[in-house]
């Protein structure tokens, strides 16, 4: 069964557009791997993202809002750790390789 993602956002803070944009980013990247991405209105400054009930981002814990690439990496790590995310991973690996050369 494919996993579901929930994005709970604060309506009083007007974070619907941010939640919708991140939902779109996840659906575009993981279109065949997800059952759904659900937006859940909340309040109290909440912005929390969960996969099958497991929290992968919380604005208060993680210090703000996720960058799309970080959210995609955390989602990938949860649903399919061996999956290559293309340019998102290649930039990280090229930085890692250049730092390895510098420190050798």
- Tell me: the pLDDT tens digits for 41-56? 999 999 999 999 999 9
52, two tokens: 């099958």
Q: What is the mean pLDDT of the chain?
A: 88
Helix (H, G, I), strand (E, B) or coil at 7: strand
pLDDT value, residue 99:
31
Report whether pLDDT(92) > 80: no
Give the strands of the sheet with 47-51, arranged side by side: 36-42, 4-10, 47-51, 54-58
Q: What would the mean pLDDT of 55-75 be, rounded to a whole number?
A: 97
Report whether pLDDT(32) > 80: yes
The fraction of the chain above a pLDDT of 90, given in percent, is 77
Q: Which class would CATH give 4-103?
A: alpha beta
């Amino acid at each position: 069964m494919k996993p579901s993602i929930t994005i709970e956002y604060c309506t009083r803070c007007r974070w619907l557009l941010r939640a919708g944009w991140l939902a779109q980013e996840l659906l575009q990247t993981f279109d065949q791997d997800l059952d759904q991405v659900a937006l859940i209105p909340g309040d109290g400054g909440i912005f929390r993202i969960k996969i099958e009930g497991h929290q992968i981002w919380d604005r208060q814990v993680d210090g703000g809002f996720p960058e799309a690439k970080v959210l995609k990496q955390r989602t990938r790590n949860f649903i399919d750790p061996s999956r290559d995310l293309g340019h998102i991973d290649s930039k990280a690996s090229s930085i890692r390789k250049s730092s390895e050369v510098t420190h050798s």
